[in-house]
Amino acid sequence: MSDSEPLPLQHRSEVRVIGPLPASDASPLEGETPLFAADLDFALEQGGPLTRAFLEATPLNREAGVVVDSSLVWLTPGLAHAMTPTGPLTGPRGKVGFVHEPFPGIAMGVRGAANRNLTAVHRLCVWGLDCTPELAEGQLSFATPEQAEAFWLPTESLDARDQQFAHHIESGELCCTGLPLATIVEFGWGTLLRPRPATEPGFQFMIRVSIGDPRPHVNGLRNHAQL
């Protein structure tokens, strides 16, 4: 998609449930190695049993471009584990609203292009604590391309969009629900997700594979995080 191509004036935020993928006692979350912008072979080799089970559960078109990101954290009550305005799959210590972009607030370069990629498909699964990301499901409409651009890809502040979310939720246009735990879900561009804070301490492992993503592979290993 080119930078000049307008964003859709009507779009539905939703996910498709592919199916359950429960963890077993033989596959502890602590045994997973978190990954950053990994290619498929690197992820299968380095990620761990749950990573391999997730990637092997559904067909993946290597030629389309496959990027794997995952994160393993120990959460304490009140803190969340999800995408934030500073990057994907990190642990916010402040307020975080709904986002759909892999890299909120960034308009330029490879990350900006990822935010505008209408054709990529993402699959996500979360294990551990049940504070899975919250989905804002529903249809959104905009009168002009400028309004759509300002909503979907703000570059200065996400606060104004958060206020719009509150209005859409109060009006019933958007309905909020938590994603199912230990279940693979699939979604495309414009699916609105928000982290939910933990109510008890524990581990949570989250993995996302993006198909049709032209981001360069880094094949990085993340550190385990305690939040």
Residue by residue, DSSP assigns 64-125 as: G-EEEEEEEEEE-TT---EEETTEEEE--SS----B-SSSTT--SHHHHHHHT-TT-EEEEE
CA 54 to chain centre: 15
**What one-letter code names the amino acid at 209?**
V
CA distance 208 to 24: 20
pLDDT < 50: residue spans in the chain: 1-2, 83-92, 227
Burial 77-116 (b: 16+ CB within 10 A, else e): eebbbbbbbeebbbbbeeebbbbbbbbbbbbeeebbbbbb
Count the helices and strands in the chain (H runs, E runs): 5, 14
**Chain CA centroid to CA 115, Å:** 12
Q: How far apart are CA 102 and CA 13, in angstroms?
A: 15
142 in helix, strand or coil? coil
Question: Tell me, what's the pLDDT at 226?
Answer: 55
What pLDDT score was predicted for residue 85?
A: 43
Q: What is the torsional sign of CA 159, 88, 93, 74?
A: positive
pTM of structure: 0.89
The predicted pLDDT at position 92 comes to: 47
Strand pairing category for 121-128 and 202-211: antiparallel
Cα 35 from chain centre:
14
pLDDT for the residue numbered 60: 92
Helix, coil or strand: residue 148: helix
CA distance 196 to 81: 7
Specify the pLDDT at position 214: 86
Please give the pLDDT value at position 158.
78
The pLDDT of residue 5 is: 67
